Amino acid sequence: YYVATSYREKRLDSRLSHLQSAVDEYNKAKNEFASKATEDEMRLLRFQKKLDDEKGAGLMGLSLQATMETLLMLGLYKQTDQLYRDFKVPDKRYWWLKLKSLAEKEEWEELEKF
Amino acid sequence: MAAHLSYGRVNLNILREAARKELREFLDKCAGSKAIVWDEYLTGPFGLIAQYSLLKEHEVEKMFTLKTGRLPSADVKNIIFFVRPRLELMDIIAENVFNEDKLHSTRDFHILFVPRRSMLCEQRLKEQGVLGSFINIDEYILDLIPYDGDLLSMEYESAFRECYLENDQTSLYHTAKGLMTLQALYGTIPQIYGKGECARHVANMMLRMKREFAGIQNQILPVFDTLLLLDRNVDLLTPLATQLTYEGLIDEIYGITNGYVKLPPEKFAQKKQGEASKDLPTEPKKLQLNSAEELYAEIRDKNFNAVGAALSKKAKIISAAFEERHNAKTVGEIKQFVSQLPHMQAARSSLANHTSIAELIKDITTSEAFFDNLTVEQEFMTGVDTDKVNTYIEDRIAQKDPLIKILRLVCMQSVCNNGLKQKVLDHYKREILQTYGYEYILTLNNLEKGGLLKPQTSSRNNNPTIRKTLKLWMEDANEQNPNDISYVYSGYAPLSIRLTQLLARPGWRSIEEVLKMLPGPHFEERQQLPAGLHKKRQQGENRTTLVFFLGGVTYAEIAALRFLSQMEDSGMEYVIATTKLINGASWIKSLMDTPEAQMH
């Protein structure tokens, strides 16, 4: 329920507080997976906010995968790697993404690095 | 006009006529010229009942779509709103009426609720201060809509969601009511069987309604011998699988709504000499699909792999028929040939249409993606590696394939494995949320509530037993000349239809054990017929069963039932009814929740 309301909130801080309530509810219901996923989403939103402010990357509200994709397009490799580690993205999917994005940009140098 | 409805064993035109009569009576209540304002969702189902010409005969001069703001101007005396009983629609109506009042117009307003009026909606209109503006508030009971000669649908999209997610039994009430209407027209159905919670509820409601009308004896000789009520959640697997009949594939790829399909126009461009590709049509080609079309009736239920052969055979017959003209010598012969021309030309254009459709579908079914997907589905259905993370699904997520396709596969794996190991389930869920976005957590929750996705609770997996006892997988499915219903999914025999088949012969007692493994109770009820209405059955006469799918049915399942009706030794003919015609994609979509993200 809180999840649905959170999407109606245009402002970040109120959305985060709704999500926090959702985490509490999920904990009460002993739904570990959902509370972890919700915390991850809050973490992602804060990360997106920071980068949007610093670099104007336009990340807000994107999925994790789409965020990483955008960062790769912008050439922000360090931040992408950070997300990959922080959110424990499976290697297989990450490599697919990196391969595809870098090949599209024809960044062969960066590609060779991994 | 609706000839296709009277071809079948049971003349469904009677039902359609009854519905039309009621509509006419309502329209005549509002004297003078009229404009109808439509709840857009209703126009499709209404098209199956009445064409514009019928409305026109009753002085309907204009039709609008219900939307906010002001009504379009029209020189009519009556404005009639045709709406579903939904609160949000009431607000729009109130706004319409309010704006109209400001113009001091002298029009009369009416509302027709489909399928039932609702206290809540009238209350809402009252709150908005416009209830008094309506001269007639009426309901138009349209529960079961005749769809084809052997098919009835309520076109009630959210039935599965309401029953299994929201615990809302409104749709079951409509179902029971619809079945009562049907019995009033076609006689009391002596035997009722059912499997599932919802089936039980509907049967209970029917019996209660019958008691309430105890005084009135239905004097109609029963047309249906048996009613079988089946819950969709007894067989969650079948709709998830890709249908492989011709009609099923058309629905999977292009979607059939209210008997119509929209196709990409390129293939249907009329090729005329001189004006090459100058003006290709850009509007999608809209085709009506039902058994009134001879050729379509012949091929719709075939496995797609048998459609090509059927089409080329038909092509030969048609061109042979055209060749006949050279043999026509006498005036009489020529006359006879000419009289057949319109029929032959219709057949030829229908052949051209279906050849084009078949080509379009073939492009897709022969693609690698389609083949890979089908291979994984078939592995799941035969129980191969259903307990671990599937690499094909992982790859498809990494490639960001459409989410519905992914969900369909994951759900299928879960259903086939009687739930997934917690670790496997969490892995899929994380993959989906990280790739498609956190908002889909609501959708995943819904799928879990509906039982399509679940963690394994016991190590016992009943599926192999069920599969073996009910012979759900046939290694040697014959697609060209089928001898078993498994041809509709090229190997997999839909569980729902196996249950139906076994009920007719040898009876459910033989599969008691398996029935207990499937969710919900199974039961049998009898309805007393007044003396003298017991049918005296002649030797070799077929019995008729009405199979009602609560929560939706697919075209492939319908095809399988039609196949059973045609089998010479089955002794049973089937008429099919459902809350909604579905396929895997439309079904999953009805279970999805996607809040609009507005933050930027």
What 3-state DSSP class applies to A56? coil
Q: Which residues of A touch B599 (CB under 8 A)?
A: 7, 9-12, 15, 60-61
- pLDDT at residue A84, as a whole number: 80
Give residue B323's pLDDT band: very low, low, confident or very high (50, 70, 90). confident
Query: Alpha helices of B417-494 — where are they, by DSSP H?
Result: 422-436, 441-449, 463-469
The residue ranking higher by pLDDT, B229 or B264, is B229
> Do B386 and B410 meet the contact criterion of CB atoms below 8 Å apart?
no
Q: How far is CA B532 from CA A25, B185, B219, B220, in A?
A: 63, 18, 9, 10
- pLDDT at residue B321, as a whole number: 84
Q: How confident is the model over B494-507, as a mean pLDDT?
A: 92
Tokens of B402: 């459409």
Q: How confident is the model over B233-237, as a mean pLDDT?
A: 94
- pLDDT at residue B336, as a whole number: 83
Task: Decide if domain B369-460 falls under CATH 1.25.40.850.
Answer: yes
From the CA of A91, how many Å to the nearest CA of chain B? 11
Q: Is residue B188 packed enough to be buried (19+ CB in 10 Å), middle (13-18) or exposed (0-12)?
A: buried
- pLDDT at residue B432, as a whole number: 92
Please, what CATH class does the domain formed by B143-235+470-530+540-599 belong to? Answer: alpha beta
**Predicted structure pTM score:** 0.89
Question: Is A16 an interface residue toward B (CB < 8 Å)?
Answer: no
Tell me how crowded residue B524 is: count the other CB atoms within 10 A of its CB: 13
Give the CA count within 13 Å in the CB-facing half-sphere of A56.
0
B267 pLDDT higher than 90: no
Please give the Cα distance from B131 to B122 (Å, whole number).
7
B597 pLDDT higher than 50: no
Give residue B534's pLDDT band: very low, low, confident or very high (50, 70, 90). low
Sign for the pseudo-dihedral over CA of B178, B180, B184, B189 = positive
Domain-by-domain residue ranges, chain B?
3-141, 143-235+470-530+540-599, 246-272+280-366, 369-460
Percent pLDDT > 90 in chain B is 46
The mean predicted confidence, pLDDT, of chain A is 74
How wide is the angle at C-alpha A18 spanned by C-alphas A14 and A22, nearest 5°?
Answer: 165
Q: How many CB pairs under 8 A join A and B?
A: 74
The mean predicted confidence, pLDDT, of chain B is 87
- pLDDT at residue A89, as a whole number: 79
- Count H helices, E strands: chain A? 7, 0
Q: How confident is the model over B70-94, as a mean pLDDT?
A: 87
Which B residues, 396 through 425, put their C-beta within 8 Å of a C-beta on chain A? 397-400
Q: Which residues of B touch A89 (CB under 8 A)?
A: 434
B363 pLDDT higher than 80: yes
Question: Is A14 an interface residue toward B (CB < 8 Å)?
Answer: no
Question: Is A22 an interface residue toward B (CB < 8 Å)?
Answer: no
- pLDDT at residue B231, as a whole number: 95
Which residues lie closer than 8 Å to B178 by C-beta, 6 or more apart?
A: B143, B144, B154, B577
> What is the number of residues in chain B?
600
- pLDDT at residue B108, as a whole number: 86
- pLDDT at residue A9, as a whole number: 53
Q: How confident is the model over B134-142, as a mean pLDDT?
A: 87
Are the beta carbons of A66 and B437 separated by less than 8 Å?
yes
- pLDDT at residue B226, as a whole number: 94
Give residue A13's pLDDT band: very low, low, confident or very high (50, 70, 90). low
Q: Is residue B201 packed enough to be buried (19+ CB in 10 Å), middle (13-18) or exposed (0-12)?
A: buried
Are the beta carbons of B598 and A60 separated by less than 8 Å?
no
Q: Determine if the peptide bond prior to B595 is cis (ω within 30°).
A: no
Q: Which range is most confident: A13-17, A18-22, A51-55, B234-238?
A: B234-238
In this structure, the strands spanning B191-195 and B522-526 are antiparallel
Question: Is A114 an interface residue toward B (CB < 8 Å)?
Answer: no
Are the beta carbons of B426 and A11 separated by less than 8 Å?
no
From the CA of A109, how many Å to the nearest CA of chain B? 23
What is the DSSP code string of A16-52?
HHHHHHHHHHHHHTT-HHHHHHHHHHHHHHHHHHHHH
Please give the Cα distance from B451 to B368 (Å, whole number).
31
Question: Is A111 an interface residue toward B (CB < 8 Å)?
Answer: no
Question: Is B441 an interface residue toward A (CB < 8 Å)?
Answer: yes
Give residue B206's pLDDT band: very low, low, confident or very high (50, 70, 90). very high
Tokens of B464: 């192999």
Name the residue among A61, A66, A96 with its Cβ closest to that of B599.
A61
- pLDDT at residue B372, as a whole number: 94
Give residue B371's pLDDT band: very low, low, confident or very high (50, 70, 90). very high
- pLDDT at residue B366, as a whole number: 94
Please, what CATH class does the domain formed by B246-272+280-366 belong to? Answer: alpha beta
- pLDDT at residue B519, as a whole number: 92
Q: How far is CA B11 from CA B180, B211, B285, B469, in A?
A: 17, 27, 31, 36
Q: How confident is the model over B92-106, as a mean pLDDT?
A: 81
Task: Tell me how far apart the terminal alpha carbons of chain A are, to the nearest angstrom.
Answer: 43
- pLDDT at residue B600, as a whole number: 35
Are the beta carbons of B442 and A4 separated by less than 8 Å?
yes
DSSP secondary structure code for residue B192 in this structure:
E
- pLDDT at residue B213, as a whole number: 77
Give residue B273's pLDDT band: very low, low, confident or very high (50, 70, 90). very low
- pLDDT at residue A11, as a whole number: 60
Question: Is A25 an interface residue toward B (CB < 8 Å)?
Answer: no
- Identify the closest residue of chain B to A45 by CA–CA distance: B438
- pLDDT at residue B214, as a whole number: 67
- One of 3.50.50.60, 3.10.20.30, 3.40.50.740, 3.40.50.2060 is the CATH number of B3-141, namely 3.40.50.2060
Please give the Cα distance from B174 to B164 (Å, whole number).
16
Least confident of B39-43, B421-425, B535-539: B535-539
> Do B149 and B12 meet the contact criterion of CB atoms below 8 Å apart?
yes
Give residue B330's pLDDT band: very low, low, confident or very high (50, 70, 90). confident
Are the beta carbons of B435 and A93 separated by less than 8 Å?
yes
Q: Which residues of A touch B395 (CB under 8 A)?
A: 96
Tokens of A65: 């995968």
Tokens of B196: 């599932």
Same fold, B3-141 and B369-460: no
> What is the number of residues in chain A?
114
- pLDDT at residue B332, as a whole number: 83
Q: How confident is the model over B82-100, as a mean pLDDT?
A: 88
- Identify the closest residue of chain B to A94 by CA–CA distance: B398
- Identify the closest residue of chain B to A36 by CA–CA distance: B430
Q: Which residues of A touch B392 (CB under 8 A)?
A: none
Q: Which of B6, B13, B11 is nearest to B49 (CA)?
A: B13
Q: Which of B175, B162, B167 is nearest to B209 (CA)?
A: B175
> Do B209 and B345 meet the contact criterion of CB atoms below 8 Å apart?
no
- pLDDT at residue B132, as a whole number: 84
- Identify the closest residue of chain A to B398 by CA–CA distance: A93
Q: How confident is the model over B94-109, as a mean pLDDT?
A: 81
- pLDDT at residue B337, as a whole number: 83
Give residue A61's pLDDT band: very low, low, confident or very high (50, 70, 90). confident
pLDDT tens digits, one per residue of B51-62: 888 888 888 888
